[in-house]
Structures are given as structure tokens and as C-alpha cells.
Amino acid sequence: MGLTTAACLAHLGHRVVCADLDEARVAALRRGEIPIVEAGLAEIVASTLANGTLTFEVGAAKAAADADVVFLCVPTPQGPDGGADLRYIEGAAAEIAAALRPGALVVNKSTVPVGSTRAVEDVLHRPDVAVVSNPEFLREGTAVTDFLNPDRVVIGADDHAAGERLADVYAPLRSAVLITDPASAETIKYAANGFLAMKISFVNAIAAMCEAVGANVDDVVEGIGSDERIGRSFLKPGPGWGGSCFPKDSKALVKIAADYGYDFTMMKGVIDVNEEQRRRMVGKVRTALGFGPGGGLRGALVAVLGLTFKAGTDDLRDSPSLTMVRSLLASGAKVRAFDPTVGLGAEGTKNASLDGIELAADAIAAARGGRVLVIATEWPEFAKLDLDEVAAVMADDAVIVDARNLLDPAAVRAAGLRYDGVGRP
Ligand code: UGA
């Protein structure tokens, strides 16, 4: 989020200094090396580095010293009680406090509990500096496009003039801008992520129902999605939502509500359905292998295509694929996996979340000898698999568990494989 924001603001014509604590990372960024998979980001960093609008710096204080506007884009991981851990944002605020020039504008883009804008003001202790909230709505994988084409820019400011100053920074985007108070802006961020997670949990629950009654979720989504009041987006059934945002933000929303005396049972249900959906995917693999719920899987070989939490990113954080893999490994299954962004070398093996997984060089190598092949991430290349080749290398009577409804069931069956999707008859 920080790097995308920095590069895109430079692209809009601002002079941007992007800071990080990690010296090696800053050195790599100065060479134009991007540490993550994110479409279009390398190009925009290269062009803004080349024209001098983007530079990198070690340490926040140095970067903030001459700035008119300072964006805080640090992580707010989940704390032990389900709430957001504010230590990085408070640390960053403390680091820049003395360096800020009079009249500077501090913008918090990190996802923080309601009331945190005030907490940043308290840490800064600089009455001459305005602090505003500016939640971010970009998605991993499409971050650059999302940044440059926002549906809206939300700004939370006690001082309307400070809000207008930030709106000016975004003026080249010609986006709708909502200036509100900080508590409302902070609530908008959680409400947006909570609502999107709710849509996905809803469709996953409907998919479970479709399986029970023999309906087809593809048609059900088409039927409800064409109602403009419902819309088609974020209604793709899958293995459950994951990543670095929905899981932590949905729990934080429940926690914030509880802290203020509201029992947000609906959001708890959204989270429960998501956990149930992840378990349902494991159940599908067990059924495909001929085992009932619980008990060991005794060395059964399961092939898994896709490890990231969604396509278009190399992010493994809270990936439904890894939840499923860990459950299968714990039951004694062998897992061989392929993901286009997970390397076979040091990069793959150094990541503890991949422990116990045999990494394959490609999809066919992963499938070889397997009794079940799971499509866990919707990488477009998996939709183009040569299904005859897959059937030829897999064990007899093999099953494809398509946790992303990526494949055409008829084509899978025509290749001599069995098929089990999500909510498809
Ligand atoms: C999400 C929000 O979409 C962004 O607007 C927000 O800025 C971001 O969190 C954040 O708070 O920083 P992101 O986590 O990158 O973005 O990814 P999404 O595209 O929202 O996907 C989240 C999860 O939902 C993934 O596991 C994805 O596979 C799943 N999903 C998404 C579905 O299962 N079905 C869908 O129809 C859409």
C-alpha cells in the first residue's frame, strides 16, 4: 500500500519521498527492484524514479522533514485480543514528530480503530500540524489500477480546510471526494471491508445450500446479480476469503463494536461462515479420497494448484489454500503444490508457512500420481490446463476439487476425471 501510494502520487506529478526502515529494501527499490508481485507497479516505479519525482529514503524522520503532506502507510496487524495493534503507527508518528515542518499535514492511510486519528495527534503532540484520516480501498493484485481509478476518496478531518488540502493532492484523479469527520472515515473502512466479506460469506453459504438442494450457484448468482440493488461483484464462491485485510478487519470490527457496547452478531456470523467454508473445502477433499470426516488420510497424495490467498499476488497471508493444506497434512496426507509465484529455491523453502509441502515446478508435475487435484487459487493459467494431460498423469478415477469454480465441469468430465466445484451440481 505504501509503495503503490508513493509511486502513484509521483505519477500524478507530486514529488514523493518514500521511506522504509529496512535498508536493504530501500537499496533494492532505488535500483527499481520491486519486492512484491503487483501488476503495473514496477513500470510506474521505474518511470517515476527515472524522472526524479520518486526517491527512497531510510527512516521516516528524514523523509518527513521537508514534506507538505506525510502519509502513514504502516501495517496494523491483529493484536492478541482481535483488535488492531497500533504499535507501528504510533512508532512512525513518534519518529516524525520533531521533524515535521510547521503546518504540515499528516495523513493516516493505515486501517485503524475508530479514534486513532486522535491517538496519532496525541503522539505527535504538534498543535501546528493537522492529522487527517484517509482510508485506502485498493486491492492486492490490482493496486495500481485501483489507486488511479478510485470509486471515491474518503477523507476524515476535524478541520475541513485540512481535508480540502488533501483533496487537492488527489485532484488529478478527478474522483468523487467525501470529506467527513475522522470517526466516520475510520468506520467507512471497516464497514466497506465487512460488507464485502459479508457478500462473499453470503454467496458461499448459498453455494452450500445449492449443493444440498441440487441448484447451480452460477445461475443463482447470475439471477440475483442482475438485480441492480444486489450487483454481480464480490459474489464469486470460493474456498473462503483470506489475505491480510478481511480476516483481521472483520475481527477488528467485532472488537470495536464490543468495546463500545454493541454485540455485532451479524459480523460474527460472517466470520463463522468463512471458517465453515474453509472446513467444507477440506471435507470435499476427504470425500474425493473416499474418507469420512475426521481420521487419518494415510499417505494419500493431494495435488494443490495455487497457494496465494488469491490470484495476481504472491501474498500467502491467511491464505485459504494454506489452511486447507495444513489440515490435510495434519491428517497424514501428502501435499504436492504448484503456485506460479512461489519459488522452488531458497525463497520457497525459507517460508515457514510452506513447511511440509512438496513444491512442484509446474501444474502437471504437481498433479502426477495424485488422487485429488485441488484448484485453490484462481490463477488464469489453471483455467487453460490441458485436462487430457492432467488425467493421463493422475491416478485412476482421480477427482478435481475446483474450490474456485475455475474449470468447466463438462470439460473435466470429458477428460475422464471426476469434478466437484463449489455450489455446482
Ligand atoms: C480488500 C478490499 O477488497 C480492498 O478494497 C481493501 O482496500 C483491502 O482489502 C484492504 O483493506 O487493504 P484484498 O484483501 O487485496 O482487498 O483482496 P480482495 O480482492 O478483496 O479479496 C479478498 C479475499 O476474498 C480473497 O481471498 C479473495 O479470493 C476472496 N474473494 C473475493 C472471493 O472469494 N470472492 C469474491 O467474489 C471476491
Residue with cell 509511486: 7
| Ligand 1 binding pocket mutation candidate from 196, 221, 222, 249 (most atoms within 8 A of CB) | 196
- Centre of ligand 1 to C-alpha 121, Å, is 30
- Using alpha carbons, select from 293, 273, 278 the residue that is nearest to residue 206: 273
Q: How far is the CA of 37 from the centre of ligand 1 (A)?
A: 16
CB under 8 Å, gap of 24 or more: what pairs does 40-45 form?
Answer: 40/144, 40/145, 41/3, 41/4, 41/7, 41/143, 41/144, 44/7, 44/8, 44/10, 44/11, 44/144, 45/3, 45/7
pLDDT band at 16 (very low <50, low <70, confident <90, very high): very high
Q: Is 144 helix (H, G, I), strand (E, B) or coil?
A: helix
The verdict on the CB of residue 404 being under 6 Å from ligand 1 is no
Q: 243-258: per-residue pLDDT in tens?
A: 999 999 999 999 999 9
Residue-wise pLDDT for 76-99, tens only, equals 888 888 888 999 999 999 999 999
246 lines ligand 1 (CB under 6 A): yes
Looking from the CA of residue 377, the nearest atom of ligand 1 is 28
| Rg of the chain taking only CA atoms, in angstroms | 23
Q: Please give the model's pTM, rounded to 2 decimal places.
A: 0.96
User: Which run of H or of E encompasses 18?
Assistant: strand 16-20
- Strand locations in 65-197 (E): 69-72, 105-108, 130-133, 153-156, 177-180
Looking at the predicted structure, is the pLDDT value of residue 351 above 80? no
> Can you list the domains of the chain with their CATH numbers?
2-180 (3.40.50.720), 195-425 (3.40.50.720)
Sign of the alpha-carbon torsion through 286, 288, 292, 295: negative
C-alpha cell at 226: 442482475
The Cα 186–Cα 256 span in angstroms is 11
CA distance 358 to 370: 13
For residue 254, the CA-to-ligand 1 centroid distance in Å is 18
Rounded alpha-carbon distances, angstroms, from residue 190 to 134, 244, 348, 366: 13, 13, 33, 38
Half-sphere CA count of 13, side-chain side, radius 13 A: 6
pLDDT at 149 over 70: yes
245 lines ligand 1 (CB under 6 A): yes
Question: In sequence order, what are the beta bridge partners of 419?
Answer: 400
